[in-house]
């Protein structure tokens, strides 16, 4: 009897420890586990170093075809802009009264181009291009900006290796950067 | 990309055009009726023409009105049809664009849901909440997927906060005519949802977690990176706004709310949170929403909206009917906390008086201020200046331009003066 009570007490203590451990893990027990396949299907983030870039590749020359079909209507035949942003040119203008912010003049990281085109472009059918087409059209836009040779083929490794001209021009937020003396009279 | 997409230089107000088209003939009468010429005055003019004023018995008293349930979801009086979102005319396209709250037509601190400003980057998705999922993964012990029912099981929280677009307005001329043109990418609501901290703890944050990358389920799959400190401070996952479920334009069925942070970071239609050691450096936090300085460098991760205020009554597009008593009223707000005081000048900034603040004064929420004023009928320039609880004082446009230059574009929180002409017409004094 005494032994049995001890067993019960020990079991209760173990159950309590188990419960409190589970509580530390998931306080409310809400939601279900996400599987690696589910995460892989949704995680389309590419960071500035190119991590998570998918397999595949595309040539600048194929990129030109993709661009003509999918992009030129809004961004212009040579990326000069239209309904959509200007994508090409503008280098050397950022410190002038008429800055032209393009992929070539402003974007700090090349892999962001793949990330953005895949997730959001073309505007009428985002996430419709194959990874090969996204590499190709990214390569073509970089080529138009003289950041990639015309005979190049872009893949995860070569895209990650590209150094964008404006990459060192971003600084952290120093605000508050102005001080109004809050004059009340005779201002 | 010559200009950021939030540029709205050629603002012409749809509601203003409608007002002029439909109400122009009544303007004279409305102004004579006293007070500010607006939709109320127009209604008064209508009533006068129908002989519904004393000593006559109004026609709406002589027959029963609409029965209960005539409108299953109530809408404003037809006489308020001019109070609508302010949509810029001649935008290049309207999928990645913005509409503004008609601030000069509103009272109080809560923006009606139908008038809340919009800024979409790929249109408004039509999401079935039963099929919506929130995925939480990355540097967590247990990656999780939540249904909307799951999200609503968490402990709830309601708070009142403003939301403001970072480009509200830009720094270059031409500036807008009305308060809505100038700072109408601003609204305030009571938000209900769950503290993001609780949801992150459910998955278990790992030691290296420094950022959370949030992604929307819209056609832009808009992505922004949020510092973990903000996520654990006062960030919320929101499913209701002003007592009802979010409107599609505000992120139905689920959005992120980051009180005091620039609007676009409050990711709508939220589908994914990836906990990370580094920011994503997404297009929306590198090529857009970065602040270009005169030397060609650019400030990145400029999250907070600093203290700001504007007089909404009287304001641009309105007209003072006659000299005499007029209350000056407006709104003030700060991403850094509570509004501490608002000063008002009625002499072009030569002297300032402290305005009265209307309770409640809430952190990171709109605060109403007011000052009684006797207008002597001579030309005047009126303006307001907010100070927040950090003792930061709202700057002048000249002070901002001296540091930031004309290319900065975002985070313009300048004092905005209105000019009142001898005939009572109110215009933008900076225009």
Residue of A nearest to B348 (CA): A187
In this prediction, residue A63 carries a pLDDT of 98
Q: Do A126 and B297 touch (CB under 8 A)?
A: no
Q: Which of B222, B300, B392 sits opposite A172 (nearest CB)?
A: B300
Binary contact (B400, A172; C-beta < 8 A): no
- Which three-class secondary structure state does DSSP give residue A59? strand
> Could you tell me which of A13, A171, A159, A140 has the C-alpha nearest to residue A70?
A140
> What's the gap between Cα B345 and its chain centre?
24
Is B350's CB within 8 Å of A187's CB?
yes
Chain B positions touching A79 (Cβ under 8 A) are none
Which pLDDT belongs to residue B49? 60
Strands B144-146 and B134-138: antiparallel
Q: What is the CATH number of the domain that holds A62?
A: 1.10.760.10
DSSP string, A144-182: HTTSS-TT-EEEHHHHHHPBPTTTT-EE-----------
A95 contacts on B by Cβ (under 8 Å): 294-296
Backbone angles phi, psi at B30, to 5 degrees: -65, -40
- Give the span between the Cα atoms of B1 and A167, in whole angstroms: 17
Tell me: ipTM over 0.85.
yes
What's the pLDDT score for residue B30? 35
Contact B181, B426 (CB under 8 A): no
Tokens of B420: 């009142």
Residues of B in contact with A99 (CB under 8 A): 2, 292, 296, 407
What pLDDT does B431 receive? 87
Q: For residues A45 and A52, give the distance between their C-alpha atoms in angstroms, rounded to a whole number.
A: 7
- How far is CA B95 from each of CA A130, B170, B294, B375, B411, rounded to the nearest angstrom? 23, 20, 31, 44, 23
User: Rounded to an integer, what is the distance from CA B136 to the centroid of its chain?
Assistant: 29
- Size of chain A, expressed as the number of residues it contains: 187
Tokens of B172: 């270059």
Closest partner residue to B202 among A30, A120, A169, by Cβ? A30
Upper half-sphere CA count for residue B353 (Cβ side, 13 Å):
12
CB spacing of A39 vs B402 below 8 angstroms: no
Best of A23, A34, A90 to mutate (most B CBs within 10 Å, chain B):
A34
Q: What pLDDT is stored for residue A25 in this prediction?
A: 59
Whole-prediction pTM:
0.89
Does B118-299 match B308-428 in CATH topology? no
Measure B351 CA to nearest chain A CA, in Å: 4
Give the C-alpha separation, B76 to B316, whole Å. 24
CATH tag, B118-299: 3.90.420.10
Domain range annotation of chain B: 118-299, 308-428
Would A124 be classed as within a structural domain? yes
In a domain, A94, yes or no: yes
**Chain A residue with Cα closest to B152:** A30
Helix axes A60-70, A131-144, angle to 10 degrees: 100
Residue A111 placed within a domain: yes
3-state secondary structure at position A33: strand
CA distances from B428 to A88, A100, B100, B173, B318 (A): 37, 29, 17, 11, 11
Which residues on chain B are in Cβ contact (under 8 Å) with A178? 395, 399-400, 402-403
Nearest residue on chain B to A33, judged by CA atoms? Answer: B144
Model pLDDT for residues B291-308, shown as the tens digit of each residue = 999 999 999 999 999 999
- Which residue of B lies nearest to A107 if distances are taken between CA atoms? B287
Read off the tokens for B292. 């270009």
Task: Sort out which chain A residues have CB atoms less than 8 A from B400's CB and list them.
Answer: 178
- Name the residue facing B92 among A31, A83, A181 (closest C-beta): A83
Burial category of B8 from C-beta neighbours within 10 Å (exposed 0-12, middle 13-18, buried 19 and up): buried
A35 belongs to a structural domain = no
Length of chain B as a residue count: 431
Instruction: Report the chain B residue with the minimal C-alpha distance to residue A94.
Output: B296
Contacts of B292 in chain A (CB under 8 A): 94, 99, 101
Chain B residue closest to A83 (CA)?
B92
Q: How many folded domains does chain A comprise?
A: 1
Structural domain contains residue A83: yes
Residue from A1, A128, A152 nearest A63 by CA: A152
Contact A47 B387 (CB under 8 A): no
Residue A126 counted as domain residue = yes
What's CA B231's distance to the chain center, in Å?
22
Ordered per-residue pLDDT tens for chain A, 187 residues: 354 554 545 444 444 444 444 444 589 999 999 999 999 999 999 999 999 999 999 999 999 999 999 999 999 999 999 999 999 999 999 999 999 999 999 999 999 999 999 999 999 999 999 999 999 999 999 999 999 999 999 999 999 999 999 999 999 999 999 999 999 999 9
Cβ neighbours of residue B113 closer than 8 Å, sequence gap 6 or more: B189, B241, B242, B244, B247, B250
Q: What residues have CB less than 8 Å from B337, skipping those under 6 apart? A: B260, B363, B364, B388, B389, B390
Alpha carbons B66 and B63: distance in angstroms, whole number: 10
Min Cα distance B68 → chain A (Å) is 42
**Buried b or exposed e, range B157-173, using 16+ CB within 10 angstroms:** eebbbbbbbbbbbbbbe
| Distance of alpha carbon B254 from alpha carbon B270, whole angstroms | 6
CA–CA gap between residue A159 and residue A155 (Å, rounded): 6
- At the top level of CATH, the class of B308-428 is mainly beta
Query: Any idea which residue has 């203003």 for tokens?
Result: B16
Q: Provide the residue-wise pLDDT of chain B in tens; the chain has 431 residues.
A: 334 545 443 344 444 433 333 333 333 333 333 345 555 555 555 555 669 999 999 999 999 999 999 999 999 999 999 999 999 998 989 999 999 999 999 999 999 999 999 999 999 999 999 999 999 999 999 999 999 999 999 999 999 999 999 999 999 998 899 999 999 999 999 999 999 999 999 999 999 999 999 999 999 999 999 999 999 999 999 999 999 999 999 999 999 999 999 999 999 999 999 999 999 999 999 999 999 999 999 999 999 999 999 999 999 999 999 999 999 999 999 999 999 999 999 999 999 999 999 999 999 999 999 999 999 999 999 999 999 999 999 999 999 999 999 999 999 999 999 999 999 999 999 98
Domain enclosing residue A92, as ranges: 57-161
């Amino acid at each position: 009897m005494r032994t049995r009570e001890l067993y019960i007490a020990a079991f209760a203590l173990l159950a309590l420890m188990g419960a409190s451990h589970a509580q530390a893990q998931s306080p409310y027990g809400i939601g279900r586990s996400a599987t690696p396949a589910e995460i892989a299907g949704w995680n389309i983030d590419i960071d500035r170093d190119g991590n998570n870039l998918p397999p595949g590749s595309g040539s600048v020359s194929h990129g030109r075809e993709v661009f003509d079909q999918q992009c030129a209507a809004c961004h212009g035949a040579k990326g000069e802009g239209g309904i959509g942003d200007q994508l090409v040119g503008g280098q050397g203008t950022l410190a002038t009264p008429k800055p032209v912010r393009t992929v070539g003049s402003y974007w700090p990281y090349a892999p962001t181009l793949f990330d953005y085109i895949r997730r959001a472009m073309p505007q009428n059918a985002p996430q419709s291009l194959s990874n090969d087409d996204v590499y190709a059209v990214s390569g073509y836009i970089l080529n138009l900006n003289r950041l990639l040779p015309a005979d190049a083929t872009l893949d995860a490794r070569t895209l990650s290796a590209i150094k964008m001209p404006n990459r060192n021009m971003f600084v952290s937020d120093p605000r508050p950067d102005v001080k109004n003396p809050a004059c009340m009279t005779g201002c | 990309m010559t200009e950021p997409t939030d540029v709205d230089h050629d603002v012409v107000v749809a509601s203003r055009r409608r007002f002029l088209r439909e109400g122009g003939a009544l303007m004279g009468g409305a102004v004579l009726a006293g007070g500010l010429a607006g939709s109320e005055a127009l209604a008064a003019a209508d009533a006068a023409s129908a002989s519904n004023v004393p000593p006559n018995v109004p026609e709406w008293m002589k027959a029963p009105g609409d029965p209960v349930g005539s409108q299953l979801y109530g809408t404003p009086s037809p006489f308020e049809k001019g109070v609508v979102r302010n949509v810029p005319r001649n935008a290049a396209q309207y999928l990645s664009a913005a509409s503004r709250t008609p601030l000069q037509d509103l009272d109080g601190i809560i923006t009606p849901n139908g008038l809340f400003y919009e800024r979409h980057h790929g249109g408004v998705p039509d999401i079935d909440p039963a099929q919506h999922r929130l995925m939480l993964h990355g540097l967590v012990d247990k990656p999780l997927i939540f249904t909307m029912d799951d999200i609503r099981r968490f402990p709830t929280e309601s708070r009142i906060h403003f939301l403001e677009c970072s480009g509200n307005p830009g720094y270059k001329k031409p500036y807008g005519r009305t308060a809505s043109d100038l700072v109408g990418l601003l609204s305030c609501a009571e938000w209900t949802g769950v503290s993001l901290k609780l949801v992150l703890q459910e998955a278990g944050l790992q030691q290296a977690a420094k950022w959370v990358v949030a992604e929307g389920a819209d056609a832009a799959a808009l992505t922004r990176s949020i510092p973990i400190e903000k996520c654990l401070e006062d960030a919320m996952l929101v499913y209701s706004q002003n007592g009802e479920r979010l409107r599609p334009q505000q992120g139905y069925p689920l959005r992120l709310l980051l009180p005091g942070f620039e609007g676009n970071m409050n990711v709508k239609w939220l589908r994914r949170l990836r906990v990370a050691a580094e920011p994503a450096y997404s297009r929306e936090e590198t090529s857009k929403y970065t602040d270009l300085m005169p030397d060609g460098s650019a400030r990145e991760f400029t999250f907070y909206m600093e203290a700001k205020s504007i007089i909404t009554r009287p304001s641009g597009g309105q007209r003072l009917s006659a000299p005499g008593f007029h209350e000056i009223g407006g709104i003030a707000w700060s991403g850094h906390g509570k509004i501490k005081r608002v000063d008002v000048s009625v002499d072009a900034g030569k002297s300032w008086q402290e305005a009265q603040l209307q309770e409640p004064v809430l952190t990171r929420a709109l605060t109403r201020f007011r000052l009684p004023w006797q207008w002597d009928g001579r030309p005047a320039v009126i303006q307001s200046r907010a100070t927040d609880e950090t003792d930061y004082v709202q700057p002048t446009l000249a002070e901002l331009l001296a540091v930031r230059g004309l290319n900065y574009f975002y985070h313009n929180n300048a004092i905005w003066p209105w000019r009142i002409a001898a005939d009572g017409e109110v215009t933008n004094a900076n225009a």
